[in-house]
Amino acid sequence: SSSAGEDVATAIDYTVADTKVHCIPSVLNGPLGAGLCVLLLGRSSTSRKAVFVLPGVIDADFTGNIGIMVQTCAPPINIPKGSKIAQLVPFESKVPHAGQEVRGDHGWGSTGQPQILLAVDILKHKPETRVTLKGPGEWAVTQSMLVDTGADITVI
């Protein structure tokens, strides 16, 4: 077939009652075979129903249930058992193996904690800090300054 991916159905009837992220069990368990990794993506028809499937990567050595992370901006929404809301798009990993640790059925976070050092919604809360500039003698001025999280150097 000319399809890029394989549709994935939900294993249970599920109601999304709020705008938080929910994980719905699918009818599939890993490993998926042939040593392939897959991208889990939403089907285009799913978004039209105000259900958004959050993308994810399922590694070739994952052996647990493949969960489908969903979110809606218009709760409550019922997703019946057997609903094909996601698709798996296979790919061959080209990343060299860093170790012999097998993921098994451990999913989210099994390769360690994400390294998010500063996450700020700049449109709502500008990342500001109080800075004190000191000069000769007793001269000093304290001021709020905008932190440019993309800069290596700040010029004052």
Q: What b/e sequence results for 123-146 when a residue is b if at least 16 CB atoms lie within 10 Å of its CB, and e otherwise?
A: eeeeeeeeeeeeeeeeeeeeeeee
Other C-beta atoms closer than 10 Å to the C-beta of 37 total 21
DSSP-derived letter for residue 30 is S
141, two tokens: 């001025």
From 13, 61, 148, 152, the catalytic residue: 148
Verify whether residue 148 is a known catalytic residue: yes
CB 78 within 8 A of CB 15: yes
Q: What b/e sequence results for 57-77 when a residue is b if at least 16 CB atoms lie within 10 Å of its CB, and e otherwise?
A: ebbbebebbbbbbbbbeeeee
Distance of alpha carbon 130 from alpha carbon 106, whole angstroms: 42
82, two tokens: 């057997």
So which residues are the catalytic ones? 148
